[in-house]
Amino acid sequence: MRRARAWALAALLALVSGAAAAPAVEPAPRAYGGRPTVEQLTALGRAMFDDPGLSANGKMSCASCHDPAAAFAPDARTPSPFSDGDPAHAGTRAIPSLRYAQFAGRFAEHTIDDEETHGVDGGPTGGFMWDGRADTAREQALIPLFDEREMANADAASLARRLAAAPYAAEFRRAFSAPGRDVLADPQQAVRWMALAFEVFEQAPEFAPFDSRYDRWLAGRATLTPAQLRGLALFRDPERGNCDTCHPSRRSSSGRAPLFTDAGFIAVAVPRRADLPPLAASAAVAPVASRARGAEADLGLCRSGRAGLTDDPSFCGRFRTPTLRNVALRASFFHNGAVHSLRDAVAFYATRDTDPGRWYPRNADGSVHAYDDLPADLAAFVDREVPFEPLPGGRPRLDDRDIDDIVAFLQTLTDADVDTGIAASAGR
Ligand code: HEC
Ligand code: HEC
């Protein structure tokens, strides 16, 4: 009954939009009253994602940084933060995987979620990018397309010209042109459709397979080793790892698979990248974080351009909690990519404040320059909860074996298609 009605409606809309009168060689362009279908948006999004022809130098596509064969994270040959040897292209932030990114939600300054926070304000959450500065994937896609260090299109008109030369230009026109018009003659409109196509493509099934060993274990279809189970228990224990408070590992009450991020913003104070010069004294007045270069500070949320948050020090140094799904595939960790092994990323939580000399450089007088990637006046806003808070007596919350077991557990979060033996070595 419902299907018959939908068919009748589609036929009616096709008549109204004149599609039914189109010549037979030209297939009816739009199924639902002048709107492109999800299939068209996805197919065009996928084609554009892989197309270096959309960049100014003809060499860079979205896939150059977000490789579809590597869970949409950089492949083994691509440095993260991005670098191709040309300082004009050098990135300042680690390249995230785009898997599960679609669930970030819009940015909110206050988050009150009965299930997670029990009615207490959980603080800022959501948005795309490490600093949450884009509210939707649509908005996000415009950033790399026009960023001078990335795909470097000068304006919508030059991007529309590149689109017109693409092998899928005819399909783009068919999907997005209003009757009797050429969408590519209206660059603003073309770029809007393009951004929507990226957003819809980024919701295709390959962006959220939920089929890691851990997912299969949750569904009762796989086992975990004793080390992985112990790692999971430490991950959840509020007095030990306490990882679960920000990287939730349980299904929601409605049965939704865990995302391993609550999308909250926290100042973790990761060390400064070793290849950058020390922070300039003027770091606190650096421009918007995305433009941070050289000796400037990347202050995250308080420089994301959000009204009311700008330069409020309590929002500075905060970055959005990433998902830990597929984290074992990464070669650099945290927003600035300063940490280069998963074990170190976990060990950092245990010993940041008990053994800061392991993570931070020394001042001229030999003292440790803790939190060296943040201006000194922001140290007060750095997170010091468990697991950072040492045990009474100053010992770390996690010892070496605990760290190994948490790493073993994190290796169960790799999606099946990209899980090349990581789980095998851990007893698949
Ligand atoms: C030069 C490398 C590079 C290219 C090319 C690139 N990206 Fe990214 N992408 C990044 C980096 C780095 C970030 C994080 C940036 C930040 O937080 O400021 C990112 C973030 C994202 C995010 C946000 C993910 C999240 O979890 O919030 C999405 C979505 C995304 N990129 C999609 C795209 C699309 C679509 C394209 C092509 C139009 C593209 N990227 C091209 C490097 C790149
Ligand atoms: C209070 C919230 C919070 C807690 C608790 C927490 N994390 Fe995180 N985690 C974050 C945030 C925020 C980031 C990103 C910080 C940045 O890049 O500046 C992060 C990043 C990471 C990363 C890097 C991921 C990547 O893609 O680069 C790993 C690995 C990680 N956390 C593991 C853990 C583990 C293991 C624990 C428990 C021992 C833990 N986290 C506890 C908030 C938290």
Task: Dump pLDDT digits (tens) for 67-81.
Answer: 999 999 999 999 999
How far is the C-alpha of 70 from the C-alpha of 206, rounded, in Å? Answer: 11
Residue 99 CB–ligand 1 contact under 6 Å: no
User: Could you tell me which of 235, 156, 180 has the C-alpha nearest to residue 19?
Assistant: 180
Gap from CA of 95 to ligand 1 centroid (Å): 7
Residues 126-140 have a mean pLDDT of 96
Q: What is the pLDDT of residue 421?
A: 62
What average pLDDT does this structure show over 396-411? 98
CA of 122 to the centre of ligand 1 (A): 26
Query: Among 57-71, 138-152, 228-242, 304-318, where is mean pLDDT lowest?
Result: 304-318
Q: What is the 3-state secondary structure (H, E, C) of 185-234?
A: HCHHHHHHHHHHHHHHHCCCHHHCCCCCHHHHHHCCCCCCCHHHHHHHHH
- Residue 425's pLDDT is 46
Which residues make Cβ contacts (< 8 Å) with residue 190, sequence separation at least 6?
156, 159, 160, 163, 172, 176, 183, 184
Long-range contacts of 224-228 (CB under 8 A, 24+ apart): 224/409, 224/412, 225/408, 225/426, 225/427, 227/404, 227/405, 227/408, 227/409, 227/426, 228/405, 228/408, 228/409, 228/411, 228/412, 228/426, 228/427
> Counting ligands in written order, which one lies closest to the CA of residue 83?
1
Q: Closest ligand 2 atom, CA of 318?
A: 18
The rounded radius of gyration (Å) of the Cα atoms in the chain is: 24
The reported pTM is 0.90
The answer to whether residues 194 and 48 touch, using CB atoms and an 8 Å cutoff, is yes
Q: In the chain, what are the domain boundaries?
A: 36-207, 265-279+321-361+379-425
- Segment 217-240 shows an average pLDDT of 98
Output phi, psi for 65, to 5 deg: -100, -30
Q: Which residues are bridge partners to 318 per DSSP?
A: 300
Q: Which of 209-223, 293-307, 351-365, 393-407 has the lowest mean pLDDT?
A: 293-307
pLDDT digits (tens, 9 = 90+) for 86-120: 888 889 999 999 999 999 999 999 987 766 656 67
Q: How many CA atoms lie within 13 A of 299 on its CB side?
A: 27
Pocket of ligand 2 (CB under 6 A): 94, 241-243, 245-247, 266, 268, 270, 319, 321-322, 324, 327, 330, 333-335, 345-346, 349, 383, 385, 387, 406
Query: What torsion, rounded to 10 degrees, do the Cα atoms 76, 371, 344, 398 define?
Result: -150
**CATH for 36-207, options being 3.90.950.10, 1.10.760.10, 3.40.605.10, 2.40.30.20:** 1.10.760.10
Given this model, what pLDDT does residue 118 score? 64
Residues 276 and 126: their CA atoms lie apart, in Å, by: 29
The residue behind tokens 């590519």 is 184
CA of 12 to the centre of ligand 2 (A): 52
Q: Does ligand 1 lie within 6 Å of residue 74's CB atom?
A: no
Q: With 90 as the cut, is the pLDDT of residue 24 above it?
A: no
Q: How much is the pLDDT for 250?
A: 97
Pick 19 or 58 by higher pLDDT: 58
Q: Summarize the confidence of residues 373-394 as an average pLDDT.
A: 94
Cβ of 64 closer than 6 Å to ligand 1, yes or no, is yes
Ligand 1 atom 6: residue of nearest CA:
62
Q: Please give the number of the atom of ligand 2 that sits closest to the Cα of 96.
A: 26
List, for residues 271-296, the tens digit of each pLDDT value: 999 988 888 665 554 444 444 455 67
